[in-house]
Structure 1
Amino acid sequence: MSSTTPEAGSGSDFIDNVRQQWAHLFPTVDTEPMAIVGRINRIAHIIQLRSDTVLAAAGITRAEFDMLSLLARTGRPMTPTELASELLISGAGATKRLKKLQEAGLIRRETNPQDGRGALIHMTDKADGLLRPIMESVLEFEAGLLAGLSASTARGLARDLRTLLAGLEPHRGGS
C-alpha cells in the first residue's frame, strides 16, 4: 500500500510530491495515510484561506461566523460552555469571540436563570439580518469550489467523508 505514484490520469499534486520526498528520506515508511489525511488537511487549509476572504468582504471572521451560525441553527440561546463545546474550541477562545461579537452588537448576554453566575448568549436582530446574505455568499463560494466534480462524485465524496467524520466526532447524546 505504500505506492507513491498518483492514480492513472489524475496528475500529480502537492501531497504526491511530499510523499515522494518522504519516500526518498525513509523508503520503508508507508505514507499511504497521507494520501487521504494530508489531502484533507491541505484542502481544508486552502478552503479556509479562500473562504476567509469571502467572509472578510462581509465584515466578519470565520470564528465569528461559526459562532453566529451555531446560535442561528440551534434557534435558542446557548451558554458559553455549550458554544465552546460545539465549536471544539477552548473556553478562553469562546470568551474572546463572544466579547468581539458583543462589541459589534451581534450578540447579547443575559443572566442564566438556572445559574445566576452563568450567561446565556442570544443573537441580536442585527446579526440575524447579516447572517443570510453572508451564508449565501459562503455557499456560492463553496459551490464554485465543487463545480469541477460531477454530481455522483460529489455525493460519493460526501458519503465517504461523512463515514470518516462520524468515526472521529466526539459522541453526542441522541444525535
Structure 2
Amino acid sequence: MTAAPQDPPLFALLNEVGIIEQLARNRFDAAQADGLLLSHFILLNHLVRVGDGTPPARIASALQLAKGAITNTMQRLEDRGLIRVEPDPEDGRGKRVFLTEAGRARRAAAVASATDALAPLLADLPAGTCDALLPGLRAIRTRLDRARDG
C-alpha cells in the first residue's frame, strides 16, 4: 500500500523506498542459487563499500544491528569462506573483518543475479530513470548516515 496523498512528501518518498526494499529483498533472496541471504549480502556489500579491516562493532553500528546479529552473520560467512576474521593488531581484544577473494566473487555474483532478476521488471521504465534518481537518494542516505553517526 502506498502513502496517502495527503502525507508529507518526505514520508511518501521514504514509504515508497521501504516498499521497494521489501519487494526487491524477496526477489533478491529468490535469485540466489546457493541460499545467500540478503543479510549476508549486506555485510559483504558493506565491506566492499567501506573497505576491509572493519571492526565488527563498527559494522553493527553502520548496519544498525545488534552485535550478536553481526557475530552470527560473520560466523556463517566465515564458515562459507567469504570473509575472514582476524585479531585487531591495535586492540588485543578486538577483531577485524576482511573479505576473501571468494567473498568478493560471491558479492559480484549476487549483484549480477539480482540485477538479472529485477531488470526485466523495470525494463519499461523511461530510459535513465535509475540514473536520475540516484543522486537524490544518495544525498538523503548520506544525511541519514551522518545523523546516525551523531
TM-score normalised according to structure 1 size? 0.69
Q: Does residue 15 in structure 1 map to residue 2 in structure 2?
A: yes
Partner of residue 170, structure 1 = 146
Q: Number of residue pairs matched?
A: 148
* Aligned partners of 2:27 and 2:114 also within 8 Å: no
Partner of residue 143, structure 1 = 119
Partner of residue 47, structure 2 = 71
Partner of residue 17, structure 2 = 40
Deviation at 1:40, TM superposition (A): 2.2
Q: Quick one: distance in 2 between partners of 1:73 and 1:167?
A: 17
Question: What letter is aligned with 1:69?
Answer: N
Comparing 118-127 with 140-149, greater Cα deviation is found at 140-149
- The 3-state SS of whatever aligns with 2:87 is strand
Deviation at 1:172, TM superposition (A): 8.7
Deviation at 1:171, TM superposition (A): 4.8
Deviation at 1:92, TM superposition (A): 1.8
Q: Quick one: distance in 1 between partners of 2:136 and 2:50?
A: 26
* Aligned partners of 1:58 and 1:134 also within 8 Å: no
Question: What letter is aligned with 1:154?
Answer: C
Comparing 158-167 with 42-51, greater Cα deviation is found at 158-167
Deviation at 1:68, TM superposition (A): 1.6
- The 3-state SS of whatever aligns with 2:84 is strand
Q: Does residue 53 in structure 1 map to residue 40 in structure 2?
A: no
Who wins on radius of gyration, i.e. which is larger?
A: 1
Q: Quick one: distance in 1 between partners of 2:112 and 2:89?
A: 35
Partner of residue 155, structure 1 = 131
Structure 2: gaps of 5 or more residues: none
Percent pairwise identity: 28
Q: Quick one: distance in 2 between partners of 1:41 and 1:54?
A: 20
Q: Quick one: distance in 2 between partners of 1:154 and 1:71?
A: 24
Partner of residue 7, structure 1 = none
- The 3-state SS of whatever aligns with 2:2 is helix
Query: Over residues 98-152 of structure 1, what are the superposed CA-to-partner deviations in whole Å (9 max), with x where a residue is unaligned?
Result: 1211222322221111001111122234323433222221233343343222124
Comparing 113-122 with 79-88, greater Cα deviation is found at 79-88
Q: CA RMSD in A?
A: 2.7
Q: Quick one: distance in 2 between partners of 1:123 and 1:150?
A: 36
Structure 1: gaps of 5 or more residues: 1-13, 21-29
TM-score normalised according to structure 2 size? 0.78
